[in-house]
């Protein structure tokens, strides 16, 4: 019997990263932040001076990524070629580049097995855009977490302000809409709920409320 997987898909800022982490902690499962793999690919491509539209070049970079996820003090850090790049991969520039390289089918193909390799006992929580549709279609629990674009932009704004980064709410909203548009309208694994996913809207429920609902699904299905 393969290890159980809980997939949590949704647009950026829906809170899926936070939920995935809390859930993995609570269940003692491993965690796959698949967005980080696309971000690492984007950063490596930018560092190599590759053109982000050059599908073969970027796919090659994706296939040869030298990465590791290290856990220190409860925080997961992303290490690229021996260097901690956890902060770099969260920059807006890299976010945009990640959504561009993620639209390339050969890049998605290059990262597929790497993502499946995270599946191990006692279980995995996988967070992304196509975890329930493409990467783990047989997952016993699939959640699709959404929230309005305005609410997601506001959350990101608060998060950045808390870190002392000054940004405009309007720019963030535009970025979020551009990324949503690219994620939902690409041909390869577009962002969409799996047929058997439970759709939760976090616009008006807090993290605890969402976590409770997901835990109920886990109890029922795993």
Summarize the annotated binding site as residue ranges: 10-18
For residues 142 to 161, the per-residue mask of contacts with ligand C5P, x marking binding by CB under 6 A and - elsewhere, is: --------------------
Which has the closest alpha carbon to 86: 96, 72, 101? 72
By beta-carbon proximity to ligand C5P, the closer residue of 117 and 219 is: 117
Q: How far is the CB of 219 from ligand C5P (least distance, A)?
A: 25
User: According to CB under 6 A, which one of 142, 183, 210, 218 is a site residue for ligand C5P?
Assistant: 183
Burial (0-12, 13-18, 19+ Cβ within 10 Å), 13:
buried
Question: What are φ and ψ of residue 147, in 5° steps?
Answer: -165, 160
CA distance 133 to 7: 9
For residues 103 to 132, the per-residue mask of contacts with ligand C5P, x marking binding by CB under 6 A and - elsewhere, is: -------------------------xxx--
User: According to CB under 6 A, which one of 20, 22, 179, 214 is a site residue for ligand C5P?
Assistant: 179
For residues 9 to 38, the per-residue mask of contacts with ligand C5P, x marking binding by CB under 6 A and - elsewhere, is: ---x---------------------xx--x
Neighbouring C-alpha atoms within 13 Å toward the C-beta of 72: 8
Q: How far is the CB of 173 from ligand C5P (least distance, A)?
A: 15
What's the farthest any 2 CA atoms get from each other in the chain?
49
DSSP states along 34-58: HHHHHHHHHHHHHHTT--TT-HHHH
Q: Which residues 6+ apart lie within 8 Å of 27 measured at CB?
A: 6, 122, 123, 125, 218
Of the ranges 22-30, 53-61, 94-102, 212-220, which one interacts with ligand C5P (CB under 6 A)? 94-102
Chain positions contacting ligand C5P, by CB under 6 A: 12, 34-35, 38-39, 98-99, 102, 128-130, 179, 183
């Amino acid at each position: 019997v393969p290890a159980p997987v809980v997939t949590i898909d949704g647009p950026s800022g829906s809170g899926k990263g936070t939920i995935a982490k809390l859930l993995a902690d609570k269940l003692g499962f491993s965690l796959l932040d698949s967005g980080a793999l696309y971000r690492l690919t984007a950063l490596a491509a930018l560092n190599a001076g590759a053109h982000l539209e050059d599908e073969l070049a970027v796919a090659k970079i994706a296939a040869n990524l030298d990465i590791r996820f290290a856990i220190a003090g409860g925080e997961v850090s992303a290490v690229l070629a021996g260097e901690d790049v956890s902060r770099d991969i969260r920059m807006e520039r890299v976010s945009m580049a990640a959504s561009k390289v993620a639209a390339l089918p050969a890049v998605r193909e290059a990262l597929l097995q790497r993502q499946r390799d995270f599946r191990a006992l006692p279980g995995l929580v996988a967070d992304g855009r196509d975890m329930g549709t493409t990467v783990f279609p047989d997952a016993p629990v699939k959640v699709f977490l959404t929230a309005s674009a305005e609410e997601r932009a506001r959350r990101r704004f608060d998060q950045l302000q808390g870190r002392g980064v000054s940004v405009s709410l309007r720019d963030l909203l535009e970025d979020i809409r551009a990324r949503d548009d690219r994620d939902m309208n690409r041909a390869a694994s577009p962002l969409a709920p799996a047929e058997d996913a439970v759709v939760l809207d976090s616009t008006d429920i807090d993290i605890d409320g969402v976590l409770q609902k997901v835990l109920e699904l886990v109890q029922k299905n795993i």
